[in-house]
Structure 1
Amino acid sequence: MARPHDQVSGSLAVPSGRRLSAPVDAGSAGKDVLSEVVRTVKLTGALFFLVEATSPWGIEVPHATTFGPIILPRAQHIVSYHIALAGSGYASLPGLEPVRFGAGDILVFPHADPYTMVSRPGGPLEFTAEASLAFLRAMAAGRLPFVVEEGGGGPEHARFVCGFLGCDARPFNPLLAALPRLLHLQRSGDAQDDVLDRLIDLTLAEARIARAGSDCVRLGLSELIFVEVLRRYLAGIKSDTPGWLAGLRDPAVGRALALLHERPASAWTLDGLARASGTSRSVLADRFAYLVGCPPMQYLTQWRMQMAARRLSDGAGKVATVGREVGYASEAAFSRTFKKVAGASPAAWRARAQRV
């Protein structure tokens, strides 16, 4: 897996003399690759709630490995995000300068890092890491309401939605690898009929009336909100920024990715993929490696193993059957490749998943 960006923005300079084509809509090349990846890595809502805070307020969230088993025991990985509806504050994580956020802004912490959110730099922490663990435990057990009040009772108010989601991170999640450690999206608030605002309004309306199935509806909405955040981030990526998401927007690489995800079990070669993508072998190899971070055939192998890992975890079919479904006629060849990529044999992977 490619190493996640350390920058807040995730942008990098394009090498001198290299030209990239104009970006395209990530869903226009045939297969909706983003949707396919989100489904395959099993994005699942874990917790979703609203915070009403008064100054001074401050929370410290520990590394997600400490609370993941509490809020979603079967998830490999936890992603958290926050949407500021009113007020402002500062977010920080180790090694990065604090980032100020305001009303409408979105903060995503994709890589399980510990982080803090405070009303002002150096302000008091109402919830230390230990207190946050106790809070999340109570929230997961249903002992807390959807709307949570916190802070010191001062005159400044902040209001933000908090979402925690689970997903697969192993053996290959190209989406996670493409996201920076702290993703900060700023919204102007000028957009009319904004999809994200409508989703948030629907969530808040659902929370006002206690009805059967409300928890399921809110968690489902939290997943939709996160996907909409990803779409906004994708739309704003510069075409010269390396990364899997930028690859989706490149005409040649985007078509190649769509084809690989549409027919992952096909006997692809670089020449065949280049012809089907409408470009030359050398151009595709060069662009794909630069944007995605690995050659096309290596990407295909990794994605096949991610598909296989999901099928094995779900207990679907024998090992040989799973191997054939992802393009391997030989069970031995599939098992060798799976162990090389995933670090465990298919049988061991399935057994471990069923024990969780």
Structure 2
Amino acid sequence: MLDPLSEVLALLKPRSYITAGFDAGGDWALELDDLAGRIKCYAVVKGSCWLTMDSDAPVPVPEGSCFVLPTGRTAVIGSAPDVEPVRASAVLDPDRSGEVITYNGGGDVYLVGSRFEAGSPHVELLLRNLPPLMLVKTSDDRARLRWSIELMMEEFREPRPGSALMAQQLARMMLVQALRLYLATPARDDVGWFAALADPRMHAALAAMHADPGRSWTVRGLATLAGMSRSMFAERFRARAGETPIAYLARWRMMLAAERLQHGDDTIARIAGSLGYESEHAFNTAFKRIMGMPPRRYAGLARQNGSSVPGA
């Protein structure tokens, strides 16, 4: 049985699109203008840099840090926050996966990591409430993360048969481990399903909903699993997740339904029943409200467009 993080990542289908090293020197800054629908995960293995998200205050990223950019928001990375950036797409070759890219002479800061394409048409629904920047340290007891980073560096230093594939698989491990470590850090002010997952009591409720999405869950029943009163649980879940438990459950059910409509041969009635809806009409109403169109039309567009549904 998959845990909630594994289930979301499985539905998201992150595919390593570019896995590379990046060696920069001097004064430099790049506007990462290629983030829409993508996730970036990089580790700073030498030197340091700065990250700026839109109009937020610049954030220092020291050596030994790993960062994840999951939401598609514009970001600028550079040697200092006051350096005028150039668009990354204009100066970096997108076809150099598996290599080390040297920029501005190199020598001062070295990063390794990957850019992931999300293979799910639900990417915005899944990522929109994540923190725009997840920053974790790779030092101390974070042996698994350091191990995947060091092996990735080795594949770049000494390319061998299968190195590109090996680097991509290591990048996936690096992404999952970075997300794990971020979940384990002390409480923050983040809001969204990922923030709820980091809360042990909310995690229990989320795990139950994911384990049995078709069950007739009630707020009282979920509160019991969380070891809280109904009112305290409802208030805390909404504060952490940004929506009510029942709204979260309904949205998760619809994403599961959409996946089966795209890639399975179940009837709408069977999907509706397996997800806890007593009638196909009730399911159709919920699906249209959350996904923006009736399930039958969604399935037709998915087949027509190869599983990419415009506007979904």
TM bin, normalised by shorter chain, reads 0.7 to 0.9
Tell me, yes or no, if structure 1 residue 151 matches structure 2 residue 117.
no
Task: Provide, for residues 178-197 of structure 1, a one-character-per-residue CA deviation record: whole Å limited to 9, x for no partner.
Answer: 4322233345x3x2571111
- Pairing partner for 1:223 from 169, 172, 178: 172
- 1:35 Cα shift? 1.7
2:49–2:62: 8 Å Cα contact kept in structure 1?
A: yes
5 Å-filtered alignment, 1:51-130, equals 51-65=22-36, 77-123=37-83, 125=85, 128-130=87-89
Counterpart CA distance in 1 for 2:238 and 2:30 is 40
**Structure showing greater relative contact order (alpha-carbon pairs closer than 8 Å, 6 or more residues apart):** 1
Tell me, yes or no, if structure 1 residue 210 matches structure 2 residue 163.
no
Task: Provide, for residues 256-306 of structure 1, a one-character-per-residue CA deviation record: whole Å limited to 9, x for no partner.
Answer: 111111110112222333344443322322222222222211111111011
- 1:81 is aligned with what amino acid? C
Cα distance change of structure 1 residues 249 and 219 upon mapping to structure 2, 3 Å threshold: same
Give percent identity, aligned residues only: 29
- Pairing partner for 2:122 from 164, 167, 170: 170
- 1:124 Cα shift? 5.8
2:112–2:152: 8 Å Cα contact kept in structure 1?
A: no
- Pairing partner for 1:195 from 144, 153, 171: 144
Counterpart CA distance in 2 for 1:145 and 1:304 is 38
> Over the residues paired in the alignment, what is the CA RMSD in angstroms?
2.7
2:112–2:153: 8 Å Cα contact kept in structure 1?
A: no
Cα distance change of structure 1 residues 240 and 106 upon mapping to structure 2, 3 Å threshold: closer
Aligned residue pairs: how many?
303
- Pairing partner for 2:261 from 297, 312, 318: 312
Q: TM (normalized to structure 1)?
A: 0.75
Unaligned runs of at least 5 residues, structure 1: 1-29, 66-76
Cross-structure match for 1:47: 18
Counterpart CA distance in 2 for 1:240 and 1:231 is 17
| Partner SS for 1:90 | strand
Counterpart CA distance in 2 for 1:303 and 1:266 is 13
- 1:102 Cα shift? 1.9
Counterpart CA distance in 1 for 2:238 and 2:39 is 27
Counterpart CA distance in 1 for 2:124 and 2:100 is 36
Counterpart CA distance in 2 for 1:202 and 1:316 is 41
